[in-house]
């Protein structure tokens, strides 16, 4: 029997609270790059392990540092004086019996492919150096992968929490970054770099968005040109947000550090479209949570999910699964207004039998939890029973974790 707890949460749903703060770090943000690349490496390793060994072997590539390079932005196009340095760290299996697995090549080639696909102006051969520090795992943790069963044991004692539904603030913060980094937007505004951060602040039904966007210097001819293009992008953003929300008032500001009359020092200009070309380094786990947001009003897991293995590390599995279960409960039980799902693992215990699985729900109106308690319990049982299929979806990269 699984230890499942369902309880009534006596609090005001976030949507009805006065203050809400939500952040999203976008595609070219150094922290996002670290999460995305390291999770891509985990997916590549899982694929290689399945091909060479018939099973996913031990790995946790959730430690990395993207060290900012050095650049000299100029109107019409600047230069890269020193490339970025990408350090890949932690553990990965490089041998299976007599079979050798080139984890260093897999890591570097995966990173290069990610840059080619996602960053228009980053040449992964010229603008990035790579340092692979992936070592074999400990005997105790690697042995978990040799034990038989439908699912593996947890390789850590860890807790995670997820929630549903998203508020309209959370939705528009995420949508805004995705809009600004869409292919269609980049075609219309090529001067817009991929390094975009959106900070949303809701006060009752009033929304303020503060956006940081790296501009690409080769498309900017002068200070005047920069501010003209910035004004057009701000106008387009305002149209998009207004058309996709129903807030009473929407206030959007873009690149608020800018100061006219200070030349290059008063502008947010980059050579490659990311602050990592000179201004800001990145790390795994400092970016978005697994639902793509940093929602300060919500409880969240301290684990960095990106790069952890998808079959034993609950810091990844439970982190993502809690959101999936929460959404499933919300969709299946219409009497629920808001739901929080908690999963706690015990190292060594099968991942489909957490130490505790808890649902805290806020009921709509005068609905009674007792009428739906068993329905919620059944949803949680179903999700945990099928955790092996969920893990394979993670391994195949079908579920994004950043």
Query: Of how many residues is the chain composed?
Result: 402
Asked, colleague to colleague, whether 4-12+157-167+287-395 and 168-282 share their fold, the answer is yes
Q: Which two tokens stand for residue 63?
A: 């430690």
C-alpha 209, offset from chain centre: 20
The domains of the chain are located at: 4-12+157-167+287-395, 30-146, 168-282
Note the CATH number of domain 168-282.
3.30.300.340
pLDDT tens readout for residues 193-237: 999 999 999 999 999 999 999 999 999 999 999 999 999 999 999
Give backbone dihedrals phi and psi of 79, rounded to 5 degrees, phi first: -130, 155
- How far apart are the two ends of the chain, measured CA to CA in Å? 33
107 membership: H or E segment, kind and range: helix 103-118
Question: Distance between CA 291 and CA 173 in Å, rounded?
Answer: 12
Which residues of the chain register pLDDT less than 50? none
Closest CA relative to residue 350, chosen from 321, 314, 309: 314
Confirm if 278 and 272 have CB atoms less than 8 A apart.
no
Question: Distance between CA 24 and CA 198 in Å, rounded?
Answer: 5
CATH of 30-146, one of 3.40.50.11540, 3.30.300.10, 1.10.340.30, 3.40.50.300: 3.30.300.10
Q: Which two tokens stand for residue 184?
A: 């269609």
Question: Distance between CA 342 and CA 318 in Å, rounded?
Answer: 9
Rounded to 5°, the CA angle 326-331-336 comes to 75
Check if CATH label 3.30.300.280 holds for domain 4-12+157-167+287-395: yes
Supply the DSSP symbol for 185.
H
pLDDT tens readout for residues 167-196: 999 999 999 999 999 999 999 999 999 999
Rounded to 5°, the CA angle 206-210-211 comes to 135
Q: Which residues of 320-342 are buried (b: 16+ CB within 10 A; e: fewer)?
A: bbbbbbbbbbbeebebbbbbbbb
Give backbone dihedrals phi and psi of 43, rounded to 5 degrees, phi first: -65, -40
């Amino acid at each position: 029997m699984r230890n499942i707890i369902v309880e009534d949460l006596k609090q005001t749903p976030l949507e009805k609270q006065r203050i809400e703060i939500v952040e999203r770090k976008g595609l070219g943000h150094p922290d996002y790059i670290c999460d995305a690349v390291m999770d891509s490496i985990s997916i590549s390793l899982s694929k290689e392990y399945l091909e060479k060994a018939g099973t996913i072997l031990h790995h946790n590539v959730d430690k990395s540092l993207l060290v900012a390079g050095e650049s000299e932005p100029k109107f019409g196009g600047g230069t890269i004086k020193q490339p970025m340095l990408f350090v890949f760290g932690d553990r990965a299996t490089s041998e299976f019996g007599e079979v050798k697995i080139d984890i260093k090549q897999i890591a570097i080639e995966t990173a290069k492919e990610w840059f080619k696909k996602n960053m228009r102006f980053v040449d992964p051969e010229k603008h990035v150096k790579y340092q692979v520090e992936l070592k074999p795992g400990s005997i105790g943790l690697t042995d978990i992968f040799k034990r038989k069963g439908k699912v593996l044991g947890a390789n850590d004692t860890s807790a995670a929490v997820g929630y549903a539904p998203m508020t309209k603030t959370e939705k528009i913060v995420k949508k805004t970054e995705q809009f600004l980094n869409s292919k269609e937007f980049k075609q219309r505004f090529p001067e817009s770099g991929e390094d975009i951060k959106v900070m949303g602040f809701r006060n009752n039904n009033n929304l303020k968005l503060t956006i940081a966007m790296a501009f690409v210097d080769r498309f900017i001819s002068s200070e005047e040109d920069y501010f003209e293009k910035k004004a057009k992008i701000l106008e387009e953003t305002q149209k998009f947000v207004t058309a996709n929300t129903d807030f009473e008032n929407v206030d959007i500001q873009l690149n608020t550090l800018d100061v006219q009359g200070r030349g290059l020092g008063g502008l947010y200009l980059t050579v490659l479209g990311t602050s990592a070309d000179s201004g800001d380094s990145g790390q795994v786990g400092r970016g978005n949570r697994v639902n793509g947001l940093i929602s300060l009003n919500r409880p969240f897991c301290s684990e960095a999910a990106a790069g952890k293995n998808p079959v034993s590390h609950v810091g990844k599995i439970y982190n993502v699964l809690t959101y999936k279960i929460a959404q499933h409960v919300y969709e299946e039980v219409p009497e629920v207004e808001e739901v929080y799902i908690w999963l706690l693992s015990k190292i060594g215990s099968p991942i489909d039998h957490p130490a505790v699985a808890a649902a805290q729900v806020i009921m709509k109106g005068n609905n009674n939890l007792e009428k739906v308690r068993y329905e919620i319990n059944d949803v949680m049982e179903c999700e945990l029973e099928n955790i092996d299929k969920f893990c394979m979806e993670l391994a195949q990269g079908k579920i994004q974790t950043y």
